[in-house]
Structures are given as structure tokens and as C-alpha cells.
Amino acid sequence: MRRRLGEGTSSEEGAIERAILAVSDWRGREACYEPVPGGISNPNWRVEVAGAPHRFFVKIPGEGTEMFIDRKTANEAGRKAHASGVGARIFHFFPDTGVEISEFVEGLRTSTNADFLDPVVRLNALRALKAFNDCPRLSQQKTTFDMIDEHFQQALVLGGQFPSDFGWLNARYREARQALEASGLDLAPCMNDTLAGNFLLHADRRVMLVDFEYASTNDRAAELALWFVEMCFSPEIEAELIEEYYGRVDEVVLARVSLFKALVDLKWSTWAMVQNRCSRLDFDFFKYGFWKHMRARFMMSDPRWSMWLKAV
């Protein structure tokens, strides 16, 4: 529902109105706001301010997200993405509240998994992702391993639900981590959240990246692995993309991506169990986490698992 500044009645509307009033350039000017659907971590808003040349996208941190989102790192990542030509311009960031205000990019639409059936969209998305990955490293180094360990501990403290075969999943995680760390990590800025909805499409199929909340310095293979599992690409398409990204396809890269496929799903499945305990958003985090656990289990049960461990 679209509202004018001062008309808010709910706690969420109160939060966006406080965010609007915090921008000194906007004080004394008429403003309207309305929710932007789609996010599963935060309430997001589209804001119009009288006299401004464009609309704004305002992100209000969701309750409990401070447990796994570093807003300063997210802002740093968003600014690097814009500087590399693949992200929206950020105008304001308030470290004390975590509120971030960027340009609402007009004329683009949120992509869906179906869009990535188009090879041009896939290639443009890969190039946008690589442009961000090729930026200087982010201040915060937080690998997939760090994220998994963090979520394990959070779920324990909050009483989150673990699957009955967690011991087996944890053992597979530990052996994959040992193999990957022994081989050395290929660290770079990573989005760590390559859902289809975080790629915006121009009419000519160029791609812009949005939402860097989970960004950190991490392994490039983990970035590709998460994107691949989210898009459900075929092995043939994955090989094409790996060759475009790395300039080669070999058993080492394939093995690294394959192991990380299991680990990123384990990360997000446990994240979902944490969210299931603390988030107020209308989203079925338990079902989401259950599905992610299933996919992690599927990869860890693959007959090639031991081969991947040796290949990396």
C-alpha cells in the first residue's frame, strides 16, 4: 500500500518513516513510500521524494539479521559493484541503524530462473558476477566454512531444528573443508547470495547485480557453486560457464565447485533454521531449509564424492 510520509500506522511503516526523516536532504519535502515485495531477510521500500530526479530503494534491516549480516561490508560491496559497472548507485548509509538507500533502477526487471535458459542472459550474468569478483577484496573475510560454523552455533543457541542425520552431514562437511583448505582458497569479493532475484535484466539482456548483504571475501568456486545450484544448470552448461570464467575446465575446478555445491546448501539450510526461530517475515523458512538439506545430502551421497575430495 502506498502511503505519504506521516500516514504510517504499523511498526514497519514507522521504521521506513524514521529512515526517510533521517536523510537531511529530504527534510521538509513531501515523500511517499510503498513496499517492494520479494526479500526474505529485510523489509524493502520504494520511496519518492518531491523534487528528486528519481525514486529510491530503501532497505530496512530485518529483525535478527545482525546475527549474520555485516551491514558495513554489504555497503562496501555495493559501492564496489557500482564502481565496476554492475551495481546500483548508493546514496546514503547509516551505520548505526544499517539502513541503506540506493537508486531505484528504472526500466529493469527482476530475473527468474527461466531467464537463465537464455545463453545470452547466462553469459551476461556470469560476466557481471566476475566483474564484481575481480574487485579488490572486501574488508571482511568470511568463508563458507565460517558461515556454516556460525549458523551451527546460532541454531544451537536458539533451539533451531537439525535433521536427524546431522552427524553424517557434519562429517561430510568436515572432510570437504579439510580437502579444500589444504588445497588453498581462491579468495575474492563474493555476493554469496546468487538467487535469480538478485540479477536485474535490461531490455537488451544486460545484467545488473543487487543485494550484497551476505557479501564477503570468500572462495570464487563457492560463488559459482551457489549460482549453479540456484539455477539448476545442466553439467554441460556449468562446464561452459566455468570455461568462460576461469579460461579452462579441468577436474580440479569441477571438483572444487562440486564440493562447494554441497557446502553452500548446508550453509543456507542451517541459516533457514536460524531464521525460522527469529524472523517475523511471512516466509516458510523451515520448508526452505528442509529443501536445502535435501540438496546437500544429494551431493554428499554422490558416488564421485571421494573422487572430488582427492581431486582438489
The pLDDT value given to residue 63: 77
**Does position 156 have pLDDT exceeding 80, yes or no?**
yes
68-123 per-position pLDDT tens digit? 789 999 999 999 999 999 999 999 999 999 999 999 998 999 999 999 999 999 99
**Does position 186 have pLDDT exceeding 80, yes or no?**
yes
Query: How do the domains of the chain map onto residue ranges?
Result: 3-103, 109-311
Q: Is 238 within 8 Å of 258 (Cβ atoms)?
A: no
- The grid coordinates of residue 296 equal 546437500
Q: What is the mean pLDDT of the chain?
A: 95
The pLDDT value given to residue 207: 97
- Residue 85's region, left for phi above 0, alpha for psi from -120 to 50, else beta, is left
**Does position 264 have pLDDT exceeding 80, yes or no?**
yes
The pLDDT value given to residue 263: 98
The pLDDT value given to residue 42: 80
pLDDT more than 70, % of the chain: 99
Residue 78, C-beta contacts closer than 8 angstroms, at least 6 positions apart: 87, 88, 90, 100, 102, 212, 215
Mean pLDDT value of segment 151-174: 96
**Does position 56 have pLDDT exceeding 90, yes or no?**
yes
**Does position 290 have pLDDT exceeding 80, yes or no?**
yes
Q: The domain at 109-311 falls in which architecture?
A: Alpha-Beta Complex (3.90)
What are 200's strand-pairing partners?
110, 208
The pLDDT value given to residue 192: 97
Q: Which CATH number fits domain 3-103: 3.30.420.10, 3.30.200.20, 3.30.70.20, 3.30.413.10?
A: 3.30.200.20
**Does position 43 have pLDDT exceeding 90, yes or no?**
no
Would the pTM of this model clear 0.95, i.e. be above it?
Answer: no
